[in-house]
Amino acid sequence: MTSESLPFSLAAMCVIALIYFEMERVILVDANNEQVGTMEKMEAHQKGLLHRAFSIFIFNSDGKMLLHERAHDKYHCGGMWTNAVCSHPRPGESQSHALRRKMKQEMGFFTQVEKAFDYTYRAELENGLVEYEYDEVFIGTYDGELSPNPDEVNDYRFVSIAEINEEIRLNEELFTPWFKLLIEPISQYYKSLNGVEQQ
């Protein structure tokens, strides 16, 4: 390596490290969803600090909800069933970009979604982690092809609300804590939005 190339290489490495560092940070917020800082994602979950998140619920034209089984080596809730996409926006990232990025990254598709409601919850997870999120909840419809990322998704399926409720009643440990909290309000929202009973 020449002396001329060294500064560039070091600068490039610093830029890459900074980008990775920022990608893995979450946005800390107050009870009104106003940003109060940022923190490394794992540290925020270890300390149980309130941070911004989003959850996307996708239905097909038959009124069935898209569920996915989280990859077994996820840092929490591995192997549990949950809604289509659950994630965090990056610091400085627009909401629309975050939604598109995670839909494409996790499930291999994108569709337009609309804001349904906000929901704040706190759940103690395995390994001493705490999920304390100001969750912005979105809803959309999709009937096309899916191409899930195996690093994120172990399996997926479309299921009726009635079947989901029955599965939770019988085996609630198979579902993520936030999904069990959100299934009722999102079901009611879907019903009011479409003016029909879920199947």
Q: What is the CATH number of the domain that holds 34?
A: 3.90.79.10
Instruction: Give the catalytic positions in this structure.
Output: 86, 133
When pLDDT is averaged across residues 146-155 and rounded to a whole number, the result is 94
| Rounded Cα gap, residues 172 and 131, in angstroms | 18
DSSP element (H, E) containing 123: strand 113-124
Residue 6, pLDDT above cutoff 50: no
pTM: 0.84
Please give the tally of structural domains in the chain.
1
Task: Look at residue 11 in the predicted model and tell me its pLDDT.
Answer: 52
Q: Decide: 140 and 111 in contact? Cβ < 8 Å.
A: yes
Whether residue 51 lies inside any domain: the answer is yes
Whether residue 15 lies inside any domain: the answer is no
Whether residue 157 lies inside any domain: the answer is yes
Torsion of CA 167, 59, 139, 142, to 10 degrees: 150
Task: Look at residue 185 in the predicted model and tell me its pLDDT.
Answer: 96
Residue 133, pLDDT above cutoff 60: yes
Whether residue 7 lies inside any domain: the answer is no
Could you tell me the two tokens for 165?
């409720």
Tell me which residue range forms the domain holding 70: 26-194
Residue 104, pLDDT above cutoff 60: yes
